[in-house]
Each structure stands twice: as structure tokens, then as C-alpha cells.
Structure 1
């Protein structure tokens, strides 16, 4: 079977396997872990799930989200295209007895159609060749009325021209850095975390304490986050070969086309977290 039929990019899968092996999130402060989790799941309808709900984490990576979801549900399927990432998530979730692990692409999800009470995929489907098809694959596994939570990189909707220009320059860097050998890639992305992420994030925190708005300040999202998170996200952002970005309107269109309705989004960072329900 070729790469396209599986809707995965082999170099990107390999890159994430290396990333989660190095940044397994075991050094992440528990309070910060919970805070980031709450940001992503702020619009997720926990109260609507049935008792002992069955769901799936698509692109589970290190298992950092699954470890906080598992205690709330009956059964959680953790799916990732990287065998290396699956081994990391197994370690993260070793104390959880209601988790099943699957090494599979999003085009080959190993659960029955219309069998899930919920599904989420955070920061994953913008790294596959066909994001719209991937969303449809997830939606197909949901029961009628079940929710799907997605986080995709935003296309800088509403940002100023200079902000977009900075991003274009950073994307040129990503194109080069992502091709480096792993050891050198880690060195470069750690350096970026130190000399770019940390100064900009901490400056934003200072400005905020002075009563200034920092919503337009680059990397202000990280102002209250640790250097470990900055290192993780620098490796994620600049070390990944395949990356796509979507406007909020494009996300809505893809979700509706996948058979989802009642589509809504979080107005807060990270952008964009979008929720939809499988049509009854």
C-alpha cells in the first residue's frame, strides 16, 4: 500500500516518533499539564457523554492528553501511525486499564464505523497529506450525535501583515530544519526555544503585568508556560516536514463535508479548536 492511500507522510511519522521519544512529557509540571489540557478541551461536552463512553484519541503521540481523558471514560482507543510513539504512550498510560493501543494511520482506523461516543485529534491532522479526508475518516467512526474535537494550526486568521510576514520567514526555517539529522535538529530547535520562544514569551508576561495587551505579541501564548513546553513545541513546529494551516472557515467547511453539524469553536488560544457532532 502506498503512502497516499494511508494518508500519512512517512518522514513526518518518523519525525514525531523521535519527538515523543525525547519529549515524553514526563518532565512537564502537573499543574501546567492540566492547564494546557483545559485550554484544548475548553469546549468539549464532557457532560453529554454516556456512562462508560467509548472514544478515540487520533494521533495520541506521547499519551499526554489520553492520560487525563482515560479516567473520565469507559474505554479509550489510542491510535498513532508511529510505532515509536505508541511505545511512549503505553509507558505514559501504564497505570490505565481501560486503554487500547493501535499503530495505524488515520485512513485505517481500527474501530468499527458508528461505534464511538466521542473522538478527538489535537495537533495531528494538519500533518497528513489530505486533512479533509482524515476528518471524514474520524467522523465515520462516530455514533450519530457523538462529538469530534479537532485542533488544527490556524492560517493566521485576522493577524496583521507583519505577523504573517514573520510566519512566512519562520516557515522557510522549518523547511530547512526539518530535513536535518535528528541530533542536529534537536540542537537547533532547542536553540530557537532559548533565543526566540523564551525571550518573546517572557517579554509578553512582563508587558501583561504592566497592563498592556499582548494578544498581538508573537509567542505570547507561552508567557505562562515552562521552558520544557517551549522546547517541545519548538521541536514540533520546526522539526516536522509536513505542515498545513487552515482558516476557521476552511475547518468548518471540512467538518460539514465530513457529515458533522452544530460546528462551534473556542475563541481563545490555541487556534483553532473546533467541535462538531456526527449528524443523526
Structure 2
């Protein structure tokens, strides 16, 4: 990676390299992988792309989303600042010839401005010091009229006060766990997956079966996922040093400030997934 990269947190990059090396997503497949993919991409305007489009996955990590996007496009640039993460993605995407792995950050990616037909960044830019600048760096790569799909952690702007208070308490826990040595960090986040994620997710599943509203409960998003996904996301959520959160309107403002128009949001979990189109 270019040593001049400035808009990264090196501890966070190293943390994700460790995470994807352990949770390489090889066990995430079939219906669960497709269901999670659809959750993020259901608002993406595939039908507006040109024939054999060229685009980018900013912060590709293990390549789990790229594995499903690559078959729909002509060329896909998988960009990540972590060499460890790219090594995982390389193994996963070895049989996918139209994928190009790029070791770079948002501010050093070696793609020409206005050269890409689409782009996406899912669960990445909220782990960057200046999220707005990173988003502008992404949209700079897009051709006019090209769509960009974005997922950023939400600031619980659609949740009650008790839910926000619960998150504040959990964030204090994240601050401690994220500083632990890697072995202890994995042990702690696995314990959270087993004793917090799993019971709350299964409770939400029971509420759903009984005709209730599971979305009102914490961690209800995981009610139909595997324990492997819970372990992965627990490590992501509690083991990552840098995390930022945004309201829906803050995300809209950042996207519009980055030159995206027609911004619209997915109405379901996870919050907030949004898509916009690069202005002419």
C-alpha cells in the first residue's frame, strides 16, 4: 500500500486483517450467503448498468460480496488496505478471472477518475477517520450516472431512548475489548456471540414465529443467521478500534456532498443501506 495514505487508521486495518484471516467466510455459503447478499443489494439498480460493466468493491475484506457480484459484471476491482485481507480474498476469488485485487486505501486507489460504471462499499467507511472524505474519494472514480451502494452503521436515530442507552453501554465494552491482545479479543467476542448474540437472536426468532415484531428487539437481524455469522459480526463490532455512526440524514447529506443524487434507503435492517447515482 502507498505509504502516503492518510485517511486510514492503521490499528483498524490490522484488526480487520486479523479478523478476515480467522473468519475467512469459507463457511458462509448457500442460502445464508445469498440471503445476506440480497439484504444489502436489494436496492442496487442492476438493470441500469451497461453491458460488461466495470466497477469496484471498496474495502473488499474476505471477498464474500465480490464472489457474488463478479458473475454479474465485466470487471471488478477489489480494493483493501490490508494485505492479510487481500490474501484471503485472493484464495476465495482464485477461480474468478474478472476480479482485480488492489492493495490500496480510499485515497491511494490507482483507478482513473470517472472510469467506473458502479461501485459499492459495505460496512467499511465508518471505520475510517474521515468518512465524508473517503466517500468523496469513492465517488470520484464513478462515471456520471453510475450508481454507488453504501452501508454505514446507524446512530439508532429510529430507535427508542432505551435502545440508544444500551448501545452506549455496549460501546464502552467495545472500547475495552478492542484493545486486548488478539487471542483474548477473539475469546471475548466469541463469548459475546454465544451468550448475547445467540440468545437474543433466537428470542427474536421466537417472537417472529408467535406473530410479534422481532425488529424491535436488539440483535433481531441475526434471528435467521448462523452462529458463524454471529461470531464474525461480534468480532467486527466489538474488536474494531475505530467506529463511527451516522443518522440517516447525515448519510444522505454526505452522499449528496460527494456528488450523488437520487439517494434512497433500504427500509429494512441493517440500517442504513443507501444507493445514489453520480451526478452529471
TM class by shorter chain equals over 0.9
Contact 1:6 1:106 in 2 (8 A): no
**Gaps in structure 2 of 5+ consecutive residues:** none
What RMSD in Å do the two structures reach over aligned CA positions?
1.3
Contact 2:57 2:76 in 1 (8 A): yes
Contact 1:53 1:118 in 2 (8 A): yes
Q: In 2, distance between residues paired with 1:122 and 1:45? A: 16
Q: In 2, distance between residues paired with 1:235 and 1:69? A: 25
Q: Could you say which residue in structure 2 is the equivalent of 1:88? A: 88
Contact 1:3 1:10 in 2 (8 A): no
Q: Could you say which residue in structure 1 is the equivalent of 2:61? A: 61
Contact 1:83 1:103 in 2 (8 A): yes
Q: In 1, distance between residues paired with 2:153 and 2:115? A: 28
- The superposition leaves residues 177-218 of structure 1 with CA deviations (integer Å, 9 ceiling, x where unpaired) of 000000100000000000000000001111111111112100
Q: Could you say which residue in structure 1 is the equivalent of 2:73? A: 73
Aligned pairs for 1:191-230 within 5 A? 191-230=191-230
CA shift, 1:29, in A, is: 3.4
Q: In 1, distance between residues paired with 2:29 and 2:48? A: 29
Q: In 2, distance between residues paired with 1:189 and 1:108? A: 32
Change (3 A) 1:71 1:29: closer
Aligned pairs for 1:4-19 within 5 A? 6-19=6-19
Q: Secondary structure at the match of 2:145?
A: coil
Task: Give the total of aligned pairs.
Answer: 280
Are 1:174 and 2:174 matched, yes or no?
A: yes
Q: In 1, distance between residues paired with 2:3 and 2:128? A: 10
Q: Could you say which residue in structure 1 is the equivalent of 2:190? A: 190
Contact 2:5 2:105 in 1 (8 A): no
Contact 1:3 1:9 in 2 (8 A): no
**Gaps in structure 1 of 5+ consecutive residues:** none
- The superposition leaves residues 13-59 of structure 1 with CA deviations (integer Å, 9 ceiling, x where unpaired) of 00000000000100113110000000000100011111110000000
Question: Structure 2-normalised TM-score?
Answer: 0.98
Question: Structure 1-normalised TM-score?
Answer: 0.98
CA shift, 1:2, in A, is: 10
Contact 1:60 1:79 in 2 (8 A): yes
Aligned pairs for 1:108-257 within 5 A? 108-257=108-257
Are 1:43 and 2:43 matched, yes or no?
A: yes
Contact 1:56 1:77 in 2 (8 A): yes
Contact 1:4 1:129 in 2 (8 A): no
Contact 2:115 2:141 in 1 (8 A): yes
CA shift, 1:4, in A, is: 9.0
- The superposition leaves residues 222-252 of structure 1 with CA deviations (integer Å, 9 ceiling, x where unpaired) of 0011000000000000000000000010001
Q: In 2, distance between residues paired with 1:89 and 1:3? A: 22
